[in-house]
Structures are given as structure tokens and as C-alpha cells.
Structure 1
Amino acid sequence: MTAFKSLTQAGVKGFVRDKATLFFSIVFPLMFLVVFGLIFGNSGTNKTKLGVVGDGPVVQALNQTGVVDFQHYGSLDEAVQHVKDGDVPAMIAESGGTVTLRFAASDQTQAGVVQGLVSGVTDKVNLAATHQKPVVNLDSSQVEDSSLNAIQYLTPGILSWSVATSAVFGAALTLVSWRRKQVLRRLRLAPINPAVVLTSRLTVAVTLAVVQAAMFVGIASLPVFGLKLSGTWYLGIPVFLLGILAFFSIGMLVGSFAKTEEAGTAAANIVVLPMAFLSGTFFPLDSAPSWLKTVSNVLPLRHMNDGLTDFLVRGKDASALLVPCAVLLGFMLVVGFIASRVFRWEDA
């Protein structure tokens, strides 16, 4: 226990004192979260601007939808001029049972949204006025697990990437540095079980990951970002821990063959950085080519991303643990076995 405590303390102190590692492991990923959160934070809450002249049942029904932001004008000509000037994408005027809609065709997306919205509301008002029962009823509701706000999607993805980066770089560069400085040689000759050395290093990685998770969730939960954890967030803990182990094993493999810190850094970047873009860390892969989705599905970071998203924000039950946990556990066992076979205590 004395050896384990000493090695763990040395690992923590080494990380805290290394300002570059501290920056790229914690501060740099947090910058991505803050910047993307501020840029895309309100992307799902923007309302469509609509110029309005007069009042009536259609205008009132549009207002009740909650998806339009009315800009009131005094006359039809004034409202049309604002549409021409690009201040609003469209305007409606309601008077004497007539609804006048004018829109800017230059923005076809907004024009289509406004036309569909006004047309649908007008038809609903007309039907209600006839007191007839609708032939077809629309059952409409929000599906949270397939339509996430930006911060709900970004937080699990960037957190996974941050933890993966820290685990890989921490394990790889520590091994390279200790081997180059002959610390591993001294540890091998000392009466210390190699498992103690490995466990102490893994404890540092897990401790760092827990601190990162607390910081990410805490900042993302601030009112300016608005992250809301689901009721089954705790089911993400096994995925989180297995993800640390999987990427720690990658770091052990990189550190086993790299001879210098520069080579270890380059190899770790080659592994982690492309994986971040191919695993949906920064953007969804729903519209990606099928071959890219196939590649993504074999990467451990993809399953860590999906697993944390399923439990932190989508509220899935324990049945969703099977795939991400199985993939991460299998990856850890295979890569960890390879790393143990190529591990070297000293440079050849």
C-alpha cells in the first residue's frame, strides 16, 4: 500500500505540474464545450419572425403555436416593405375574414415554413368554424431521444473525447518518460509488484476522468447552456469506467513501443484525433455515407459517445448497456493483451 500510495501521489503531482498536459487534457476540451455551447445553444429555440397587421382568429392561432415571433406593423404597405428589405421573411394581414400572406422567395426554406404554417392554421380555423368533426386526427408530440438540443449532444461527446485524450496521453507519455529516465528499470528491480505500478497509474487516470466529468457536467448545467440530465444518468457510470480502461489500454500500447515523448505524442494524436471526428464527437453522423458509419461503429469512442448520450440525456434503461459495454470491454481486453506482450521495461 505504501508503494501504491507513493506512485499514485507522484502521478497526480506530475500531471498537475505539467502545465501543457493540464491545458490540453482539461482546459482545451472545455473551450470546445463553451464555444460550441454558446454558438449552438439556442439553435433549437429560434422562432420564425413574422410581420403582422391587424388581428383575428388566424393571427391568434398562430400566436398560440409558440413558434413565431410577431413583428407588428401599422399597415399592409409598411409590412410588405419590411419583407422586401429582409427584416422579416414574411408577413400576414388579417381583416374582414381575409388573410393576406406575402413572403420573400429569396429564402425558400423560410418561405416554405411560413406558407405551411399559415396554411395549416388557416385550414384548422376554417374547420373549427364549421363545427364539423375532423376526418383525420393528428397525434403530435416531441421525441426527446431523437431530437436533442445542442448542449445535450455536445456534452457527452466532448466529455468522451476529453477523457479518451487524457487516458491515452497520460498512460503513453508516462511510460515513455519513465522508461527513458530508467524509472521503470528501478521499479522492476525494487520489491514492487508490477500490478501495483499499473494500478497506481490507472487510479490517476480514473481520478482525472472523474474531475473532468464533474467540471463538464457542472459547466454545461449552467443556465447559459442548460444541460439537463435524465433520470437514468447513473447508468452511464459503467460505460464511463470501461471507456477509461479501453483508452488507457491504448495508451499502454502506444507507450510500449514509442521511444521518445515526441513519438508518443504523435502516435497518440494519430489514434485519438481522427477517432474524434469519425465517432460523432462534434457533429452527428446521421447523414454520413454508409461506409463512414461502418468505420465509426468499430471505434471505441463512438460507443462511449453513444453510451453516455443514451443515459445522460436520453434516459434509456439498462438494456442499452449491452452494446457499448461489450464493445469497450472487448477492446480493452484485446488491446491490453497486445500491450502486455510488447511492453518493455528498458529501451533496447
Structure 2
Amino acid sequence: MSLLARQIGYDLRSWIRNPPVLFFGLLLPVIFLLIFATIFGNETLDSRGGIKQSTYYVPGLIALGVISTTFVNLAISLTIMRENRVLKRLRGTPLPPWLFFTGRMAAAMVFAVLLTVVLVGIGAALYGVEIPDSTLPGVIVSVAVGSIAFCALGIAFSAVIPNEDAAPPIVNALVLPLYFISGLFFPVDDAPQWLQDLASVFPIGHLAEALFTAFDPETQGAGVDWGNLWVVGVWGLAGVLLAFRFFRWTPKGE
């Protein structure tokens, strides 16, 4: 356990010293919240049962932050480490692979939890966003399931990125359109049905909907949306299987 704690501490420090991680993982969702609330106000959304717009923004931006700190950062950072042969050198040390991946995933999850606390705090202080006490477990479970699933997907996806220069554009070209069609920023209830069907195939919208369920004042019970989280979990399991099969420790050809 002490070795695991040291590995997690090392990964946390390396991420804290990485400005892009802090900006895209922590600051950008906060900036989006402030911009959206300033431009579009905090009126009610009739398509979402009359809730305030801020109550819609916060869970969507939490989903964005979870994906940024897990999938995006792991896919890019692991590709860079592989192409610079850092992973190759790690593979030759006594450090067990499971410990390395657990440290990376735990660090990502810490940032995801921190972002959740920050967004909820800002939403509550400035825009009156509240999480009913009864549905707090729904937020916790959704963030946990989403973090684990997207960590696995990020590790797996790094295998298809050819080199470190291609990593940021490929990853962002994948996630940015999905953010929009999955309703992370604005409701897509009036979008064409084919677009909604396409978005429903991917896990991003399901994570956002699970979080929205937990924030919805009308939700009864613990607020755990197992229907949407089941889809996220299946994608996470697929990520684990693909990572076991295709993850590369060395650059292609070595």
C-alpha cells in the first residue's frame, strides 16, 4: 500500500506541474459555467421540467471535466510517454504494471472529484444550484463510474494514436463534436432524431444524463441512474478489454 500511495502521489505531482492538465481539466469547465450563465442567463428550461439553466450546466460540465481529466489526459499523456520511451523504461523496472495504471487512474479521479466540488460550490454560491441531500449518492456513483470507465477508454485509445504530435488533435477531434451532440452544453431535445440516436451510442451523453438525474430537484430516491450508468459501464469494460489486448509500451516497430 505504501508503494501505491507513493505512485499516486508522484502522478498527482506530475499533473499539478502540468499547466495544460490544470487548465483543460479544472479551469476550462469553470470558465464555461461563468460564460454560459453570463451570456444566456439563468432562466428556466421548459424542456427540462422548468429547472434553472445553471442546474443543467453544472452536471454537463462535471461530465466534461471527468472526461478531460481521465480519457483526454490519459490518452495524450500515455502516448507521449510511449513515444519518448518512458513506458519502455518503466516496463524494465520492478514497478508492476497494475500499480502504474492504478496510480494514473487514481490521480485522474482525484482531479475529477476536485472539479465536481469546485463546480458545485461555484454553482451554489453564484447561481443557486443545489444537490438534494437524498441524491448526493447519485453524484458520487456517477463520477466514480464515469471516471473509471473513461480512464479505461483513455488507456485503450492511446494504442491507436500513431505519435505524440498527433495525440492532441486526434483526441480533441473525437471528443469535441461528441460534447456538443451529447448535450453537455445545451439540451439537444429538439435536435434531429438521427443525431440524438448517434449521440446515444456513445457514453458521454449517458454520463451527463446520469449526473443530471442526481441534480434534478424532481428526482426521487438516491438519484443513481443505473440505466445510463450501465451504458457507461459497458463502454468502460470494453475499454479494459481493448487495453489488455492492444496497449503498447513501446513505439510502433520496436
TM-score by length of 2: 0.90
- CA deviation digits over 1:247-267, x for unaligned, max 9? 212211222232433211122
Q: How does 1:314-325 map to 2 (within 5 A)?
A: 314=217, 315-318=219-222, 321-325=225-229
CA contact (8 A) 1:246 1:300 kept: no
**Cα distance change, pair 320–16 in 1 and its aligned pair in 2 (3 A):** closer
- CA deviation digits over 1:160-187, x for unaligned, max 9? 0121112112211221222223222222
- CA deviation digits over 1:183-213, x for unaligned, max 9? 2222222222211111111100110101100
The residue aligned with 2:23 is: 23
CA contact (8 A) 2:139 2:223 kept: no
332, 337, 341: which one aligns with 2:236? 332
**Cα distance change, pair 270–190 in 1 and its aligned pair in 2 (3 A):** same
58, 80, 94: which one aligns with 1:155? 58
**Cα distance change, pair 250–204 in 1 and its aligned pair in 2 (3 A):** same
1:226 counterpart = 2:162: no
- CA deviation digits over 1:22-49, x for unaligned, max 9? 112111121110111223334239xxxx
Instruction: Give the CA deviation at 1:278.
Output: 1.0
Q: Which amino acid aligns with 1:22?
A: L
CA contact (8 A) 1:233 1:313 kept: no
1:297 counterpart = 2:200: yes
CA contact (8 A) 1:41 1:225 kept: no
Q: How does 1:282-293 map to 2 (within 5 A)?
A: 282-293=185-196
Q: Which amino acid aligns with 1:156?
A: P
Instruction: Give the CA deviation at 1:7.
Output: 2.5
Instruction: Give the CA deviation at 1:320.
Output: 5.4
Instruction: Give the CA deviation at 1:336.
Output: 2.0
**Cα distance change, pair 42–302 in 1 and its aligned pair in 2 (3 A):** closer
Distance in 1 (alpha carbons) for counterparts of 2:166 and 2:149 = 21
- CA deviation digits over 1:317-345, x for unaligned, max 9? 35852211210110101122112211111
1:236 counterpart = 2:139: yes
Unaligned runs of 5+ in 2: none
**Cα distance change, pair 297–257 in 1 and its aligned pair in 2 (3 A):** closer
The residue aligned with 1:344 is: 248
Q: Which amino acid aligns with 2:55?
A: Q
**Cα distance change, pair 179–2 in 1 and its aligned pair in 2 (3 A):** farther
Distance in 1 (alpha carbons) for counterparts of 2:42 and 2:162 = 47
The residue aligned with 1:180 is: 83
CA contact (8 A) 1:242 1:329 kept: yes
The residue aligned with 1:165 is: 68
- CA deviation digits over 1:52-94, x for unaligned, max 9? xxxxxxxxxxxxxxxxxxxxxxxxxxxxxxxxxxxxxxxxxxx
CA contact (8 A) 1:156 1:312 kept: yes
With a CA cutoff of 8 Å and minimum separation of 6, indicate the structure with the bigger relative contact order.
Answer: 2
Q: Which amino acid aligns with 2:171?
A: A
Runs of 4+ in structure 1 off by over 6 angstroms are none
Q: Compare the two structures and name the one with the higher strand fraction.
A: 1
Q: How does 1:51-62 map to 2 (within 5 A)?
A: none
Distance in 2 (alpha carbons) for counterparts of 1:267 and 1:149 = 35
- CA deviation digits over 1:127-181, x for unaligned, max 9? xxxxxxxxxxxxxxxx996221110111101110121112112211221222223
Give the secondary structure class of the aligned counterpart of 2:127. coil
Distance in 2 (alpha carbons) for counterparts of 1:299 and 1:163 = 15
The residue aligned with 1:275 is: 178
CA-atom RMSD in angstroms: 2.1
**Cα distance change, pair 262–321 in 1 and its aligned pair in 2 (3 A):** same
Distance in 2 (alpha carbons) for counterparts of 1:316 and 1:244 = 24
Distance in 1 (alpha carbons) for counterparts of 2:4 and 2:90 = 12
Distance in 1 (alpha carbons) for counterparts of 2:204 and 2:178 = 7
Q: How many percent identity over aligned positions?
A: 28
Give the secondary structure class of the aligned counterpart of 2:185. coil
Distance in 2 (alpha carbons) for counterparts of 1:7 and 1:183 = 15
